[in-house]
Structure 1
């Protein structure tokens, strides 16, 4: 079973869909927008290509899928009055995600996207062509020297596959876990780092071939702070699954066969990989903290104090939206509701005891 076949979010517009549970990711896009603007200004301070080609890698579906495209178009239009030209700048937007992504959801929103561009940019609005480019970004997606800019948000922490080397002889070195945790041996951490290194190196090589000279990338994904304990939603999912094994709701062998294909690197690990690959100049690398319930108010809950159960329910919904296809493929659809009900209870208990935060990495780099 290929891991990459199941690394995609819930499609459609139902209660558990990514489209209805992606305000957390929307908040991350908003937080990074100043760096996106800064990167565009540094790349195109003097001129902009007559047809600007940009791709959003790992776009998923729902309201966020076209937000980055809109932001980039808006930034380019506002760079300088000197960019006013006849005809106006044209944009070729490529939206990339796995083959199983709900691209139809995106296509249905294109008329309102184009209308928004016309209303807010008026006569400055040049032609904009939006295309879907399905496939894994761990490999080539576009022709050589054809692209000006790549963007990716909350996607590159997903690996192409679960790490190799998590079984030793007849035993498991990450027993009772589906991700690396504070109790995992160093060999588990190393296996995850090795897989991330292989994937990220291939990502960089592929994008370097596709970008024009001087083209740029802004990437944002979940990282890790070495000074903090490793508390992640994926570790908690593993804990819930262990509870369900003890209650004979799922088989132990089935649990032990699963490892979550994602990795949060440290800033130093990312910098070393970029330097070693050699195709890019790292212009900026920053880290920022984000609470697990970031974006909850933007999800329509008003501006009032929220208790731990409300926050936990919000967290459980967006985690489910991004992991359900993977978990269903391995454990079956029948346990999913119960799994995330229990997951929410564990999160609520933790929220009453401590602040739960992700560490995010955001970087801007240019092709040498």
Structure 2
């Protein structure tokens, strides 16, 4: 399965779109907003550029992207006024895979510019926004053109399903599972870990070429607590997803072979794995590393239980892949099963998925 051609968040603004089902990601990014804004403030103060290059990697197409950009612009504008100097121009590069719904972002830009203009007596700042389609596991931007990179809930997605999951006949060795589980052979977690190492190392190396010296990145991604790959967090949510598909198998709606041949291109690293790879690759130094959890609560505004809200969020992310592999006909039943299973499980015991936020600074030459 060619991830780059198939994988994208659900486009548009309908009830199952990513734009309508990304409130959990928004809640998480808001929890660490102070870290993002402190980092952009620091890079602006230390470099004082006339033209500030900013990239959002894995921007998707919902309201979260432009909300983050507005916060960044407002922070720099305030710092400029404090220093009694002219604010810089902003070069904003929005990156995602080529199948991403960039049009929805572009349609929202007139209102975005209007909001920026209304927020200041000096008029709208000079801000130039462009879409840059392509995988961030490859090269995207020219050398030394960026000061700041932001990526929220993207880097746990691998460039591909690990090839080592398949035997010589092309059959998955992870039968009955779509991710790492207790019943997975040990080779499965090893395959996922090696793919993470390869991808994350490439990501760091390529971003170091695109950032100026001293440039910074704020990366927000899903993870796990320790070296044990099977935990009652993000891994367990995939376990429940596998069970949801298995229900459809027992009902005759999905062929068992289809379940056995589906594996997700996802990996939740632990802190040690991330730190080791940053150190080994060598282009960046770690400025900050924090772990946090989102509270488990029902979506009162949307009238959804916690399980249903998670299921809708996952659907908005995974629908393109699920529909391509299993067909669109299973979507409603699958995600109804999934939401119900999550609610049943958290009624027994908490599911505690965790998120990491890290700040990386590009090393100076010779350091």
Q: TM-score, normalised by structure 2?
A: 0.92
**Count of residues in correspondence between the two structures:** 358
Residues 1:161 and 2:160 aligned together: yes
Supply the distance in 2 between the matched residues of 1:114 and 1:349 (Cα, whole angstroms): 45
Q: Is the 8 A contact 2:43 2:147 kept in 1?
A: no
- Which residue number corresponds to residue 229 of structure 1? 232
The correspondence of residues 204-353 of structure 1 with structure 2, limited to 5 A, is 204-226=204-226, 228-229=231-232, 231-291=235-295, 293=297, 296-297=299-300, 300-301=301-302, 310-353=305-348
Residues 1:108 and 2:103 aligned together: no
Give me the CA root mean square deviation. 1.9
User: Structure 2 regions of 5+ residues with no counterpart?
Assistant: none
Question: CA deviation digits over 1:223-254, x for unaligned, max 9?
Answer: 01127435433221111112222222111222
TM-superposed deviation, 1:45: 3.0
Q: Is the 8 A contact 1:56 1:68 kept in 2?
A: no
TM-superposed deviation, 1:133: 0.6
CA 1:328 to 1:293, structure 2 compared with 1: closer, same or farther past 3 Å? farther
Name the SS of the counterpart of 2:141 in structure 1.
coil
Question: CA deviation digits over 1:159-218, x for unaligned, max 9?
Answer: 111112223456743111000123323221111111111111111111011011111100
- Which residue number corresponds to residue 183 of structure 1? 183
Name the SS of the counterpart of 1:344 in structure 2.
helix
Q: Is the 8 A contact 1:173 1:185 kept in 2?
A: yes
Question: CA deviation digits over 1:38-83, x for unaligned, max 9?
Answer: 2123323345211111000001012112111111111212235453
TM-superposed deviation, 1:351: 2.0
Q: TM-score, normalised by structure 1?
A: 0.92
Q: Is the 8 A contact 2:113 2:124 kept in 1?
A: no
Name the SS of the counterpart of 2:149 in structure 1.
strand
Question: CA deviation digits over 1:119-163, x for unaligned, max 9?
Answer: 113317421111111111111110011111100001110011111
Supply the distance in 1 between the matched residues of 2:110 and 2:44 (Cα, whole angstroms): 29
Supply the distance in 1 between the matched residues of 2:225 and 2:123 (Cα, whole angstroms): 44
